[in-house]
Structure formats: structure tokens, C-alpha cells
Structure 1
Amino acid sequence: MLPIYLMLAILSGSISLVSCSKDDELEIQNDFPFEVNVMPVPKEVADGQTVEIRITIQRTGNYTNTQYFLRYFQFDGTGTLRYYDELPYLPNDLYSLPTEQFRLYYTSTSTVSQSFEVWISDSFGNEKQISFQFNSSD
């Protein structure tokens, strides 16, 4: 038969293994920063010319309910930016991105240099800024 102190030690050890406090709740991380990769684009664009911009959002983690958004602001020249064949974006409005790999199309409507910024954000407030500048070509 086991000595009483050994039985007490086993009993107290098993109780401490099954007891949980409120502070021991499982934490689930859902806020993951991300990076944005952009394929090279031309340095020059002519009036009426369309430039394809290929963008990939690279997550550092994977939370399936993360949503991504895009907004842009043009501060030099004029042009339109659109997602595939959809209607052109309005500057500084927020648009939902359905995929993490996509193409934007910028069409110049200017004979001078053009500059604009694209901001990509997620549903947790993380943001990345991408700047584009095109010189005018004839």
C-alpha cells in the first residue's frame, strides 16, 4: 500500500493539472500584417494609353475572415484607375478587393506627368501605400 504522503502528492498534482483560471483562456490571433508586391510598370504613358498594374497581397498569417480594401488619390495629371473591366474608381473612395492577387488598369487622360497613390488596407486597420509616377510620352 502507498504511504499517505505519496497519495496526497499524487492527488494534489492531478488537481492542479485540471484546474484552469479565467486568465488561461485561449487567445486566437486574427490581426496579421501584410506586404504588397507590385510587378514593374512602364515609366512613361501617353494620353489615352492604358497601363496594367499587377498586385499581390502577401499575408504574414492566415485568418480567413480578413477583408482587403483599396483607395487611391491622384495628385498630378489626370487619368482613371479601375479593377479589371469594372467602372473606374473614384478618388479617395474605399473599395473592397475580392482577391489577394489582382490587376488594376490605369488609363492616362493627360499630356503631362502623372502621379497617384494606392492605399491597400485590411479589416484590422493595417495599411500599405504604393506610389506610381508616369512621365508623359508622345
Structure 2
Amino acid sequence: MKTILKKYRLRFHAVILIVLMVVASVVSFSCNKEELEIQQNYPFEVQVLPVPKEIASGQTVEIRITIKASGNFNAAAYFIRYFQFDGKGTLQYYDEPPYLPNDRYQLPATQFRLYYTSQSTVSQSFDLWISDNFGNERQVSFEFNSKD
């Protein structure tokens, strides 16, 4: 009788072991690796509040900008660069030193203000490029007619 019980106990343990292996195989193969990836790269849009159309030499215009990403990733970083192709002026972030054309600067926030100060009596135009650390980039153009 003892040998019969031992025989059934071994078969029972073998069946349990096989069932557990099948369940583990199904679970491991049913996981899709793409579903486990965390999305980091979110496209974004740049919103700019309206600015004056005219500016006088020496006058400063405030430019309010908001970066609206389609998702949220804490490690996203945003950068700005600009190029002025008509007229002369300076562009700066709050009270920091003016930006140099075509240099890239990191933005500490997604909602910020830039200040453009005219240094000429002719029409002025410049482009801003805002990019993120994933290669997404948006361009915003500004044009001011001279009040002088």
C-alpha cells in the first residue's frame, strides 16, 4: 500500500510541476515587449501670445511662450536658439544675459517669457527654434515693423 501511495504522490508532483511550467511559459511568451516600453518621446507644440506689430528703437517687447507636449515625461528637456535675419536687436530670457544668435540654450521651464529689445530703426525679423532632447523641433517666426 505504501508503494502505491508513493507512486501516486510522485505522479501528482510531476503533474503539478508540468502545469506550473506550462503556465510560466504562457505568461512569459504572452508579454509583448513593446507594451512594456515607457514612452519618452512626445511631440510638442509651441503657443505664443500675440505681440505688437511695431517696435521703436530701444523699445522692449515681451514674448510669452508655452510649450505643450502631447504627453508627460519628467526627463524631457527643451532648448531654444534664434537667428535674426533683418534688423538688429537682442533677445533674452527674463533678466539673463542676451542670447547669442544660433547658440543653443536650455529652457528651465515650459512656460516662459522672452524679451526682445530693438536696436534699429528698420523692420526686424527673427526665427526661434525650440527643440527637445529627442530631436523634435518647432520654428516660430517674429516680424516687427519700425515705429521710427
Counterpart-to-counterpart distance in 2, 1:21 and 1:112: 66
1:125 matches 2:135: yes
Match runs of 1:70-85 below 5 Å: 70-85=80-95
Q: Does 1:24 align with 2:36?
A: no
Structure 2: which amino acid aligns with 1:24? K
Given the alignment, which residue of 84, 88, 108 partners 1:98? 108
Q: Match of 2:23, SS?
A: helix
Q: Which amino acid aligns with 2:46?
A: V
Name structure 1 gaps, 5 residues minimum. Answer: 1-6
- 5+ residue gaps in structure 2? 1-14
What TM-score, normalized by structure 2, do the two folds share?
0.81
Picking from 32, 41, 45, the partner of 1:35 is: 45
What TM-score do the two structures reach when normalised by structure 1? 0.87
| Mapped partners of 1:38, 1:72: distance in 2 | 15
SS in 2 for 1:107: strand
Given the alignment of the two structures, is residue 56 of structure 1 paired with residue 66 of structure 2, yes or no? Answer: yes
Which 4+ residue blocks in structure 1 deviate beyond 6 angstroms?
A: none
Partner of 2:97 in structure 1? 87
Q: Percent identity?
A: 67
- Normalized per residue, which structure has more helix? 2
- The structure whose Rg is larger is 2
> Across the two proteins, how many residue pairs are aligned to each other?
131
Q: 2:10 — aligned with what? A: none
